[in-house]
Amino acid sequence: MQELSTYLENNKERFLEELKELVRIPSVSADPAYKEEVAKTAEFVAQKLKDAGCEGVEICPTKGHPIVYGEKLIDAALPTVLVYGHYDVQPADPLELWDSGPFDPIVKKTELHPEGALFARGSCDDKGQMYMHVKAFEGMVKHNNLPCNVKFMIEGEEEVGSENLGTFITENTERLSADVCLISDTSMIANDVPSITTGLRGLSYVEVEVTGPNRDLHSGVYGGAVANPVNVLSKMIAALQDENNHITIPGFYDDVEVVSEEERTQMNLAPFDLEAFQKDLEIGKIQGETGYTSLERTSIRPTLDVNGIWGGYIGEGAKTVLPSKAFAKISMRLVPHQTPDKITELFKQHFEKIAPPSVKVKVTPHHGGDPVVTPTDSVEYQAAAKAYEATFGKTPIPQRSGGSIPIVALFERVLGVKTVLMGFGLNSDAIHSPNEHFGLFNYYKGIETIPYFYKYYAEMKKNG
């Protein structure tokens, strides 16, 4: 592995320059205005895979944005690693809150990243983390040091729900067959506290529309006598949680896995600095479901959050109006064994039921995804743990994450492969937010650690 370290050391500058080039392309999957840019990003990724030594590189069209596929199959007797990542990014807005252009990458030092961090949309989620795999692979190929077969599947629609990827994997089960799926698209606890993600929450996402009068009204002439849909929607949303921040939808918790006291004690041993957490977010006090710690609230417990709410007049100054309609986008994070279809249906029924007769409501489901939990006694987890030990000098802590990667549940269901989540970002890296960044330490550490995973995984598979 020495030659790989030397290779990384000698190529750090280039690896960073290439990542900068990648994040300069605004591959915003949600906005049709960026379709060309998304396509260009797919081409960039495809080219880099070829340059790194991939064969059969293909840009696979879908009904939406393309999927980039490439492979290097060296020996049928060796295990096969399927690397998944995404090259699409979240929209950059609100633009005015960025200290530098979201697509003008710049390296700056921060408190948590004294070696510097690359600021740009997608630097961490997931271009930076995905690209670590391309560079780690390049190193292994260059040095004839690839211990596994590798398949890359890099998609362009993760941030919009991966709807077409489901079809792609169903239609390509043969081509995608693998022993394990390897993903870097999550976070670790801290740069000196490595961790491996052992769970992701599921997701149910709905949009609601509340209609009052058939047109906007003068809020003086009509106000007081006609239901205001914004007022009504606010009350309905407020009623979705009780004073203990428990969700009030009947049946919502029915399938929630009860985590044992022992496991809860274990998970709360993970370092969590409440002071620092509050200070970082500039919040007076944390809040959440009674009876659970912050770590539990963001991992083993389901949630309900309004992601956006609008209606009425939101322009400059004051306009007196009693709006006809109000809207909200609501996400529910799910845990085992909740399912998005059932939760969406329960939400819909309840929301329609609590609506007063003065308004009409419409509930429209968006994408969803199943939760996942991965075992720690598996070969893939153990190989990953050894890899972190080799490069961080510390045993990583298993930690369930609050985020979602909806396709992971399908990897297991459709392809029958287990996933290992080797995330190298930090929660404070501002993914989806202004000033997203990725530590250079994290980027290089990822490139250094990944080949160890391949090595240990191959060894452990071989020795049964």
> Is 341 part of the annotated catalytic residue set?
no
Distance CA 187, CA 401 (A): 8
Q: Which of 18, 37, 158, 179 is catalytic?
A: 158
199 binds, among Mn ion, ligand BES, none (CB under 5 to 8 A by kind): none
d(CA 311, CA 326) in angstroms, rounded, equals: 4
Should residue 264 be labelled a site residue for ligand BES when binding is judged by CB under 6 A? Answer: no
User: Closest CB to ligand BES among 194 and 212?
Assistant: 194
273 is catalytic: no
Cβ–Cβ < 8 Å for 148, 182: no
317: region left, alpha or beta (phi > 0 left; psi from -120 to 50 alpha): left
- Cβ-based neighbours of 190, under 8 Å, separated by 6 or more: 112, 271, 426
Helix, strand, coil shares of the chain, percent, nearest 5, are 35, 25, 40
Are 155 and 119 in contact by the 8 Å Cβ rule? The answer is no
Three-class SS state of 459: helix
Task: Please tell me which residue in 18, 37, 71, 88 is annotated as part of the active site.
Answer: 88
Would you count residue 64 as binding ligand BES (CB under 6 A)? no
Q: Is 403 a binder of ligand BES (CB under 6 A)? A: yes
User: In this chain, which residue has its C-beta nearest to ligand BES?
Assistant: 403
125 touching ligand BES, by CB under 6 A: yes
* Helix segments in 84-241, DSSP class H: 127-142, 163-171, 229-238
Prior bond to 94 cis, omega within 30?
yes
Judged by CB under 6 A, the chain residues 139 through 198 that form the site for ligand BES are 158-159, 161, 185-187
Q: Tell whether residue 448 is a contact of ligand BES (CB under 6 A).
A: no
Q: Does 88 bind ligand BES (CB under 6 A)?
A: no
- Residue 403's binding partner, choosing from Mn ion, ligand BES, none, with beta-carbon cut-off 5 to 8 A by kind? ligand BES
**Which one of 19, 180, 405, 447 is in contact with ligand BES (CB under 6 A)?**
405
Give the number of residues written for the chain. Answer: 464
Encoded tokens for 180: 């394990």
Q: For residues 88 and 179, which CB has a smaller minimum distance to Mn ion in the complex?
A: 88
10 Å CB burial of residue 284 (0-12, 13-18, 19+) is exposed
Q: Which residues contact 265 (CB under 8 A, 6 or more apart)?
A: none
Binding mask 167-186 vs Mn ion (x if CB under 5 A, - otherwise)?
A: ------------------x-
Q: How many residues bind Mn ion (CB under 5 A)?
A: 3
130 binds ligand BES (CB under 6 A): no
Residue 122 touches which of Mn ion, ligand BES, none (Cβ within 5-8 Å per kind):
none
* Chosen residue from 18, 71, 88, 126 binding Mn ion by CB under 5 A: 126
Decide: is 396 part of the binding site for ligand BES (CB under 6 A): no
Q: Using the rule CB under 5 A, is 436 a contact of Mn ion?
A: no
Report how far apart, in Å, the C-alpha atoms of 76 and of each of 79, 148, 204, 377, 419 are. Answer: 8, 9, 40, 26, 20
Is position 401 an interface residue for ligand BES (rule: CB under 6 A)?
yes
Site string for Mn ion, 79-118 (x = CB under 5 A): ----------------------------------------
Per CB under 5 A, which region of 49-57, 120-128, 250-258, 410-418 contacts Mn ion?
120-128
Task: Kindly state whether residue 429 participates in binding Mn ion, applying the rule CB under 5 A.
Answer: no
311 touches, from ligand BES, Mn ion, none (C-beta below 5 to 8 Å by class)? none
Q: Which is nearer to Mn ion, 185 or 380 (CB)?
A: 185
C-beta closer to ligand BES: residue 54 or 188: 188
- Beta strand pairing status for 80-86 and 149-155? parallel
What whole-number distance in Å separates Cα of residue 66 and Cα of residue 162?
Answer: 11
| CA torsion, ordered 93, 440, 424, 89, to nearest 10 deg | 30
Interface residue list for Mn ion (CB under 5 A): 125-126, 185
Residues classed as catalytic: 88, 158
